[in-house]
Chain A
Amino acid sequence: MTRGRGSSHLTLAAAALGSAAALAAPAFAEAGSQWRIEPARTTIAFAIDAVGYPRTEGRFDAFDGKIAIDFDRPEKSSVAFHVCSASIDVGSATFSDYLRSSAFLDAGKHPSIDFVSTSVEKLSDHAVRVSGDLTLLGVTKPLALDVDVERPTGLKGPLEFSARTRIDRLEFGMNSGFPLVSRDVDLTIKSAAAEL
């Protein structure tokens, strides 16, 4: 249920994709090409440490992302990502249920974790910085993500992107178990998007 983190990753990734595409394919003149995330090739994973407890690693299985890429003007690209917070999976049904509860993701009240980009900046031919707003537990905070972008199969193929970041869960009011449970949540997003 708590795939919010994943969604934020996705959003970031999507943003990264857009920027990467812009970087990699200057020949593509059509502004605002539309891309869709391929769920089967997308992983939104998170990890969090706790005192005297194994590192908790999990992922979000349900998400939806849209990317608009302007190859001529990368800064005009955008990404919107939504992760279903209830789709959290940490390898134990009871543990996942607990993380969906009000102690953490509060999936009943906050079913979606959202990332919406506000700007995209090209860093290199294979990297973009996607800045945007991450909404978790109804709290919106700015988040910037450096996204690596690859297009392994050539100009017509899907874009692959990956990003890692760390968020402070306390900023979103997710205080349960702190300081026993770390405030830092590591997010890892890997995804692929195909042009529509």
Chain B
Amino acid sequence: MSFTIDKVALLLGMSLMMIGLWGGFTQRNLLKIILSFGIFDTGLNILIVALGYLPGRTAPIIEGIVVTPENLVNVAIDPVPQALVLTAIVIGFGTTALMLAYALKLNQHKKSLDINEFKDLKW
């Protein structure tokens, strides 16, 4: 099979997703768990952008020299995954900020960041 750039990016995205999930399952420090979810988000975004790549083509922006309004269909890659990932990165940042604010409040109440200390909801 011919190895192109998007196959390397696909493998990288899958590896980062697996490493991020593994960190979320096994770590005990709250900040480490939030960091692992951030790595999972980055891997997922690389995976989605790699699905829209076509070899030998360039970015879908009209400049008048290489990409003109007439040959945009023949020299530009798929623009839809880029629009989706743009939204996903910003929402991932919002989720991370919210998780960190919750971790700060939990730390103020229990004075530790170990996830085994929070047993209030266990039956």
Asked if A pairs with B, the answer is no
